[in-house]
A and B are shown apart, each in its own frame.
Chain A
Amino acid sequence: MDVQRLIDSFLTRLHDTWRVYVHELRRVFRDSGVMLIFFVAGLAYPILYNIIYIKNIVRDVEVAVVDMSASQSSREFVFRFDATPEVCVSHTCATMDEAKALLKSQKVHGILYIPADYETVLVTGLETAHISLYCDMSSFLYMKNVYTAANMVMLDYMNRIQVDRYEAVNIGEEMSWALVQAVPFEAVALFNPSGGYGSFLVPAILVLIVFQTLFFGINMLHGTAREENTEVYILPGRKRRASVFRLLVGRGAAYFVLYMAIGAFGMILVPVIFDLPHLALVGDMLRFMVPFLLASVYFSIFLASFQRERETGMVTMLFSSLIFFFVSGFSWPWESMNPYWKAFGYILPSTWGMHGYLHMQSMGATLATTAREYNMLWLLALIYFLACVLLYGYKAWHYDAAARREQVKREQMLRQRWEEGRKRIEERHEKGRLFIEQHLPDKRL
Chain B
Amino acid sequence: MTLSGQIQNVLRVSKREVKMLLVRPVYIFSTIFVMFFSIFFFLTLFDTGSPEKMPIAVVDMDCSSISRRVVHELNATQSVDVVAVTHTFEEARVLMQQGRVYAFVVIPERFYADLASFKRPEVVFYMNNVYTLGSNTASKQLLTVMTLASGAFQREVLRKKGLPDYLIMKRLQPVAIDGHFVGNPSSNYLVYLVGILLPGILGLIVLMITIYSIGSELKWKTSRDWLHAAQGSITRAMIGKLLPHVVFYCVFGVMINIILVRYMHFPVNGSFVWLNVGMMAYVLAMQSMAVIIVGLIPILRDALSVGALYGMLSFSLSGFTFPKMGMLTVLQSLTNIFPLRHYYLVYVNEVLFGNPVSQSLPSIAILLSFVGLQMLVVRRLHSAMIYQYFPKD
Tell me the A residues contacting B by CB distance below 8 Å: 33, 36-37, 41, 48-49, 51-55, 57-58, 61, 103-106, 122, 125-144, 147, 150-151, 154-155, 157-158, 161-162, 165, 175, 177-195, 197-198, 200-201, 203, 216, 220, 224, 309-312, 314-316, 318-319, 321-323, 326-327, 330-333, 335-338, 341, 355, 358-359, 362-365, 369-370, 372, 425, 428-429, 431-433, 435-436, 439-440, 443, 445
Q: Is B129 an interface residue (CB 8 A)?
A: yes
Q: How far is the CA of A140 from the CA of B51 in the complex (A)?
A: 15
Query: How extensive is the interface on chain B, given as a class?
Result: 35 or more
- The reply to whether A132 and B178 contact each other, CB–CB distance below 8 Å, is yes
Q: How far is the CA of A358 from the CA of B135 in the complex (A)?
A: 15
Q: Is B45 an interface residue (CB 8 A)?
A: yes
Q: Is B113 an interface residue (CB 8 A)?
A: no
A189 surroundings in chain B (CB, below 8 A):
126-129, 135
- The reply to whether A138 and B328 contact each other, CB–CB distance below 8 Å, is no
- The reply to whether A323 and B41 contact each other, CB–CB distance below 8 Å, is yes
Of B29, B44, B192, B316, which contacts A140 at CB under 8 A? Answer: B192
B133 surroundings in chain A (CB, below 8 A):
331-333
The 10 lowest CB-CB distance pairs between A and B, nearest first, are: A432-B224, A192-B129, A428-B225, A365-B97, A178-B118, A182-B153, A137-B184, A316-B30, A333-B134, A58-B326
B142 surroundings in chain A (CB, below 8 A):
187
B84-127 residues with Cβ-Cβ distance < 8 A to A are: 93-94, 96-99, 102, 115, 118-127
- Assuming the contacts A52-B316, A141-B323, A195-B129, asked whether A323 and B98 have C-beta atoms less than 8 A apart, the reply is no
- The reply to whether A197 and B96 contact each other, CB–CB distance below 8 Å, is no
- The reply to whether A165 and B171 contact each other, CB–CB distance below 8 Å, is yes
Nearest to A178 among chain B residues (CB) is B118
Q: Is B54 an interface residue (CB 8 A)?
A: yes
Nearest to B355 among chain A residues (CB) is A104
B21-59 residues with Cβ-Cβ distance < 8 A to A are: 26, 29-30, 34, 37-38, 41-42, 44-48, 50-55
- The reply to whether A318 and B157 contact each other, CB–CB distance below 8 Å, is no
Nearest to A151 among chain B residues (CB) is B177
Q: Is B6 an interface residue (CB 8 A)?
A: no
Of A55, A127, A359, A362, which contacts B326 at CB under 8 A? Answer: A55
Q: How far is the CA of A232 from the CA of B180 in the complex (A)?
A: 61
Listed by A's residue number, 16 A-B pairs whose Cβ atoms lie within 8 Å are: A33-B301, A58-B326, A61-B325, A104-B355, A132-B177, A139-B323, A142-B323, A158-B174, A182-B115, A201-B322, A311-B301, A319-B38, A322-B315, A369-B98, A425-B222, A429-B225
Q: How far is the CA of A365 from the CA of B118 in the complex (A)?
A: 39
Minimum distance in angstroms from B302 CB to a CB of chain A: 7
Of B115, B154, B184, B224, most A-chain CB atoms within 10 Å: B224
Q: Is B263 an interface residue (CB 8 A)?
A: no
Q: Is B273 an interface residue (CB 8 A)?
A: no
- Assuming the contacts A128-B170, A191-B130, asked whether A161 and B175 have C-beta atoms less than 8 A apart, the reply is yes
- Known contacts A135-B179, A182-B150, A425-B221, then 15 further A-B pairs from the complex at CB < 8 Å, ordered by chain A residue: A48-B313, A53-B322, A122-B175, A142-B323, A158-B175, A182-B154, A220-B301, A310-B301, A315-B212, A319-B34, A319-B205, A322-B315, A355-B99, A363-B128, A364-B97
- The reply to whether B26 and A104 contact each other, CB–CB distance below 8 Å, is no
Q: Is B147 an interface residue (CB 8 A)?
A: yes
- The reply to whether B205 and A105 contact each other, CB–CB distance below 8 Å, is no
Q: How far is the CA of A147 from the CA of B393 in the complex (A)?
A: 54
Q: Is B381 an interface residue (CB 8 A)?
A: no
Q: How far is the CA of A128 from the CA of B129 in the complex (A)?
A: 33
Minimum distance in angstroms from B319 CB to a CB of chain A: 7
Of A127, A140, A178, A321, which contacts B321 at CB under 8 A? Answer: A140
- The reply to whether B130 and A363 contact each other, CB–CB distance below 8 Å, is yes
B94 surroundings in chain A (CB, below 8 A):
365, 369
- The reply to whether A197 and B326 contact each other, CB–CB distance below 8 Å, is yes
B293 surroundings in chain A (CB, below 8 A):
none
- Which of B244-252, B275-283, B304-312, B367-375 lies at the binding interface? B304-312
